[in-house]
Structure 1
Amino acid sequence: MDFEPTERQVYWRNRVRDFIETHVRPNMDTYKAQDAAGDRWKVIQIIEDKKKLAKDAGIWNLFMPPRNDSHHHVDDSFEFEGPGLTNLEYALCAEEMGRLGWASEVFNCSAPDTGNMEVFHRYGTREQKEEWLRPLMNGEIRSAFLMTEPYTASSDATNIETRIERDGDHYVINGRKWWSSGLGDPRCKVAIVMGKTDFSAQRHAQQSMVLMPIDAPGVTILRHLPVFGYDDAPHGHMEVEMKDVRVPVSNMLLGEGRGFEIAQGRLGPGRIHHCMRTIGVAEEALAKMCRRLQEREAFGKPVYKHSVWEERVARARIDIDMTRLLCLKAADMMDKVGNKSAKQEIAMIKVQAPNMALKIIDDAIQAHGGGGVSEDYGLASAYAHQRTLRLADGPDEVHARSIAHMEFAKHAPVPGPTANALRGDHGRVVNETQSFSSGDMGVAR
């Protein structure tokens, strides 16, 4: 087990890090000024300028699966490639991108486009790739992923009610989605919509995914959904209605009833990409906290010399490093044994990373006093984003359930008398089927 990064891992990480420190961080004020000026839902020019630089430098589409990826379904995928980084190599780059909110878009590595591009890469037809994947990879358009619905418990995607019904040479889409991230961007041209093509099929074979142009008749953005008051413009999170939206039959991804298969292929990498960036978010919060604690004095000495802050900073460093190791392990397993075999590690990091970052950001807010809850230091918005990640791509509870089920499967009871059957009071055997009421907690009397 070697914990030293390879020469190739260091090469790509440092290229991303150096670009961010040279071209992104020095332009934070420019970004804020352009973001605040005029219409909220617009193209921000400084991002476009830096995208061109990153693209020309070849630091572009770093998330795209390498050539030996075995998941794509057609042979022409080799035309649609990035530099061929593994998940492990990309993890180190994504951490650097996570330090500053708009950095990932500069490298064409921001959600939901990354997950959508992987869907096109793995499951799309040649025609679908030419129409949508190529402009996405060139950074010319943006995209959305429509899965979550307002009237169902979307933590269980079998609940979705959106209908995708065949009518001759078209599919007709009817339904309502929300938290459709990216729909506010004027460059958003296509959405991947998950709905049901067969309500009578087996539970996980009812769903399909279809491509829907945003400008199709019948698509109506009903409202924008702020996150803790942040509009996240120009990206945005929208509630959208689809009423008799007609798309060609050729817009179906992979085939009817294959929606869950596509979702699992998409969400594995998507979940870990969020977690990779979250490590960078936590590092940035810790750096701000340490600087602030050394700049201020309280009760006759620098704030950092008060023991409570030594404890918090130490805990932050321990938690970041532990979480990074788990994230890198999950990425390495995805590379070596595939997403399905790494599902427990992916679930664990998805629970751990945002909770870890939230604690550190919260301590950093405390260190900044009143300034921490303002937007002067970027900590309040970082907290809002990380809190959202405890829900995005599946809530903590769903991932914890998955982790627990896999753990129970490893440790099934052995045949023979159980511990309860052997344990008694005054020589009597406890009835194993006895109910656990709040009054007696199942103890024999």
Structure 2
Amino acid sequence: MSTQTATPNIPGPQSAEADAVYRKVGWRLLPLLFIGYVAAYLDRVNVGFAKLEMQSALQFSDTVYGLGAGIFFLGYFIFEIPSNIILHKVGARKWIARIMISWGLISAAMMFVTTPMSFYILRFLLGVAEAGFFPGIILYLTYWYPAHRRNRATSLFMTAIAFAGLIGGPLSGWIMRDMAGVAGLGGWQWLFVLEGLPAAALGLVVLKYLDDRVSEAKWLNASEKALIARDIAAEASTKAEASPLTVLRNPRVWLLAGVYFSFVSGLYGVSFWLPTIIKSIGVADPLQIGLLSAIPWFFGVVAMYLVARNADRVREQRWHAAIASLVAAIGLVISVSFHANQFIAMFGLTVATMGIMSTLPVFWGLPTAFLGGAAAAAGIAMINSFGNLSGFTAPIIMGRIVDATKSTDIGLYMLAAVLVVGAVLVLCVKPEKVQNI
């Protein structure tokens, strides 16, 4: 990949006409992408709620659970880069639909788990099926938004993570409590069925509704298409275009992969273990656990959007991400230090979730600022796949720690330390490399 000197900011049209065009794009694309990611994230982390009953019903240890929760990301890691390259070649509409249909069916099939091996196999296949969805959407947004408008669009898409937690907690708690025993199935089995099949249905909607490129959008007129095309072309002229193999040798890409690994460690540490953490502070009823787990995610939605909006306004990503990561680490330390006090512990978890969620959309402004075309497809997928390896390692380490200590405290301290490392690493990304955002 060629390196290039810093270029001036490309502000793009700021007229009322341009604002109206991008609002139109947002209302057309983002709701469907948002709903799709809600479904994806629910199916990825609902194993955290299923654990509350599944573990005792199947006699799984915390180590078995941690490996099963994490092995999803091994399949994700292996197939993510090929998946994103295929998406770039065949188009988002067909490939995203394929991803959603296959992962929805496999997620529902989790109801048939009876042994640790069947648990591992289905979680691995779920990762294989979903590989490429998130980086594919990040790449897809670069086809429609120039960089100075993309942070906010990315944040609106990624609020699906917090929204999945917001609705997923109460929904999962209700399913497990009120569906238990229906048709002879456990509540955890109904959880996988009722949260998995909607994703497959959404895949059919994507196949009918999504447009691959601006030029194919019948809902845009010629002048609107020309405005977007002009913005995208102006930004593309500042980006490096290279082969996927060249991208994988670029030290900037590896640095960003390390940053994302740190941030995602905190995200999945909270996502997979939040129900267990809440249970450990004295809450037993699954529905109450679900309702309480919605609180951190609600505030995470708000913080995520406000931080991303401010990052767009001042055109700065590094310090926004670093400060948010440090705030998340402080929140985790608070939750551990005061776990005997339910109110303060929940406050700490809420602060941690706000910080973790705020790192994500501003982070993705960094790699998409200098990667274009096939380089973007490979680079985004590589960064995301290595980042998501933390989803493989963090649950396994947490599971071993819980088995050994009968507490999540040491594991949460570990996650806080990783978030501090992420804050330091993101500040090592040279600011002149992202001035064209």
TM normalised by structure 2 equals 0.32
Q: Higher relative contact order at CA 8 Å, sep ≥6: structure 1 or structure 2?
A: 2
Bigger Rg over Cα: 1
The structure that is helix-richer by fraction is 2
